[in-house]
Amino acid sequence: MNIDGLGERVITQLFKEQLVSRVSDLYRLTKEELIQLERMGEKSVDNLLRSIEQSKENSLERLLFGLGIRFIGSKAAKTLAMHFENIDQLKQATKEQLLEVDEIGEKMADAVVTYFEKKKYLIC
Structural domains of the chain ordered from first start: 8-55 (1.10.150.20), 60-119 (1.10.150.20)
Q: With DSSP H G I counted as helix, E B as strand and the rest as coil, what are the percentages for the chain, rounded to 5?
A: 60, 0, 40
- The pLDDT value recorded for residue 67 is 86
- The pLDDT value recorded for residue 44 is 97
- The pLDDT value recorded for residue 105 is 98
Query: Distance (Å, rounded) from C-alpha 117 to C-alpha 112?
Result: 9
Query: Distance (Å, rounded) from C-alpha 119 to C-alpha 66?
Result: 14
Residue of 82, 117, 112, 88 whose CA lies nearest to 99: 112
85-103 confidence digits (pLDDT tens): 999 999 999 999 999 999 9
More confident site: 63 or 76: 76
